[in-house]
Amino acid sequence: MKRDFINEKERAEMKKRAETPIINALETYSTNGKIKMHMPGHKGGKGFAKWFVENLVQYDITEIPGLDNLHNPESVIKASMERCANVFGARKSFYLVNGSTSGIHAMLISAFNRGDRLLVQRDCHQSVINALILSGIQPVFVTPGYNERWHLKMPAGLHDWEKAVLSNPDIKGAVVTYPDYYGMCAPISEIADLMHQNGKLLLVDEAHGAHFAISRRLPQTALKQGADLCVQSFHKTLPALTQAAVLHIGSDRISEDRVKRAVSMLTTTSPSYPVMASIEYAADFAKTDGSGEYDRLICLLDDIKKELNKMVRLKILPDEIQGIKRDPTRIVIDTSDSCLTGYDLYEKLSREYGIVAEMADESHVVFIVTTADSEKELTHLKNSLMDLDRKSDPADSQKKHLSFRPMEQGKCIIPELSVYLNGCRYIPLNDSEGKRSAGMVTPYPPGIPMLCPGETITREHIHLLRDISTSRVDVHGISISGNGREIKIRVFDE
């Protein structure tokens, strides 16, 4: 479908060309026949109609007559965004061509002012922390819970948010992630009521939940539960190109003009028409075939989960944990009762079974399942997991698991942008206890900062970072050399 313009000979030639490493790598991956259990949600184009894929390059044009301008939409983009708002139940929707990241930045600068304080779930995505640095807004962190059985962070409960509001009456609102990477759904409607009763705003990072609006069998959307603003990465779970995302306004507590100007400030003056067209494609899918497709997918997943529940060592996360709902399309396998780490399982699936998952951590593998996945592919995933379960030994009781339990952080003052960028130096990790971190130290994925700029480095951080540096976790924000022996961390000059 996508290969018409490259023949075999040309492809072989391209492979030889060392000066096109990105194209070579993409060619290798896209022709290896592996099953994509990762984003983008269109899964190598399978989620799009053939005509759409064939026309995408032709759609890559600029604002010529007959089209529209994303910065001041008056015709086709305006009409498309209005329809999208209608489909997703928003008062107004803004197309984003730089992912939810730019939408999160826009949400924060449009809803709050420099110097404001707001509640932020501590396990937020790094884009929230970057937005705080850029905007001069200060967080009061709300610490998530932890589930021992599933070795998983849990969304903070209503009680935690109530306590935080009571102790910080000056806060202007809250930012909550819903759902998280593992599909866990925070109690949004209760948090929305709490915020609104106290005259505060609720902003939701719904990057992983763009599909929720499509089916009654999925958790309710953040908008339906009262969010004032929310951001959704269409590209993660819907048929849309990477970077396709939408910022929705849900209430009249937010100035539309401020949101419009904030989105415009953070958006390229050459927005990609293919990305915008794919947002429209996904919204149309949501309105038309989406509901039936999700019914089919969820029924199929119910059957598959029944089988996967028979596994002895690899365990599938249930759709509800401690009364907290999980996105039923987010398949997560816990490996901690087996001899495998999450990384081992991820690698085995790719190497031996031709399945590439979205991500692994120490004891989980996460699969992003969308309506673009066929029954055959999902059955192969099920059979592969069951086969690996049969072949895997029990967990070695001596095996040391890296634990990413939420750590109670002290007070955190996010630095001024100029201080963040300039006023710091690298020192050996071992000498850093008690110093203030100047960087964002983030195991990737899922991209949740372990240390934020301004937080105090504790002995616990140092131990964990030492362990991580010799594991397979990719940690952004520290410097590692000498085979993991020399670790340096950025601290403030003070």
Angle at 242 between CA 240 and CA 246, to 5 degrees: 65
Residue 439: strand, helix, or coil: coil
What secondary structure letter does DSSP report for 431?
Answer: G
Strands (DSSP E) along 303-393, which ranges? 315-316, 320-321, 324-325, 330-334, 355-357, 359-361, 364-368
Query: Is the separation of the CB atoms in 157 and 145 below 8 Å?
Result: yes
Residue 215 CB partners (closer than 8 Å, separation 6+): 290, 291, 294, 295, 298
Of 231, 229, 222, 232, nearest in space to 250 by CA: 229
Among the residue ranges 18-26, 204-212, 289-297, 350-358, the one whose residues contact ligand PLP (CB under 6 A): 204-212
Stretch that binds ligand PLP, among 96-104, 142-150, 254-262, 410-418 (CB under 6 A): 96-104
Nearer to ligand PLP, 55 or 242 (CB): 242
d(CA 17, CA 14) in angstroms, rounded, equals 5
- By CB under 6 A, name the one of 213, 245, 247, 316 that touches ligand PLP: 245
Size of the residue set binding ligand PLP (CB under 6 A): 14
Q: Out of 165, 207, 223, 279, which residue is the one contacting ligand PLP (CB under 6 A)?
A: 207
Name beta bridge partners: 121.
Answer: 142
Judged by CB under 6 A, which of 181, 285, 294, 404 binds ligand PLP? Answer: 181
> 340 or 342: whose CB is closer to ligand PLP?
342
Token duo for residue 65: 């007559």
Is residue 200 a contact point for ligand PLP (CB under 6 A)? no
- Rounded to the nearest whole angstrom, what is the least distance from the CB of residue 5 to ligand PLP in the complex? 28
| 237 sits near ligand PLP (criterion: CB under 6 A) | no
φ, ψ for residue 65, nearest 5 deg = -55, 140
When asked if residue 111 is in the footprint of ligand PLP (CB under 6 A), the reply is no
Minimum distance, C-beta of residue 208 to ligand PLP, in the bound complex (Å): 6
Taking contact as CB under 6 A, which single stretch among the options 43-51, 95-103, 162-170, 380-388 is the one that binds ligand PLP? Answer: 95-103
**If binding is defined by CB under 6 A, does position 101 make contact with ligand PLP?**
yes
Count CA within 13 A, CB hemisphere, residue 397. Answer: 0
Between residue 431 and residue 470, which ones bind ligand PLP under the rule CB under 6 A? Answer: 446-447
For ligand PLP, give the closer residue by CB, 112 or 181.
181
Contact code string over 113-132 relative to ligand PLP, x by CB under 6 A:
------------x-x-----
- List all residues 6 or more positions away from 271 whose beta carbon is below 8 Å from its beta carbon: 70, 95, 97
Q: Does the footprint of ligand PLP cover residue 95 (CB under 6 A)?
A: no
Q: Is 100 in the site for ligand PLP (CB under 6 A)?
A: yes
Q: Provide the terminal-to-terminal Cα distance of the chain, rounded to the nearest Å.
A: 58
Gap between the Cα atoms of 84 and 92, Å rounded = 8
Minimum Å gap between C-beta 93 and ligand PLP is: 15
Residue with nearest beta carbon to ligand PLP: 99
**Smallest gap from residue 242 Cβ to ligand PLP (A):** 8
- Per DSSP, helices labelled H in 178-325 are 188-197, 234-237, 256-265, 273-287, 290-308
Q: Give residues in contact with ligand PLP (CB under 6 A).
A: 99-101, 125, 127, 177, 181, 205, 207-208, 233, 245, 446-447
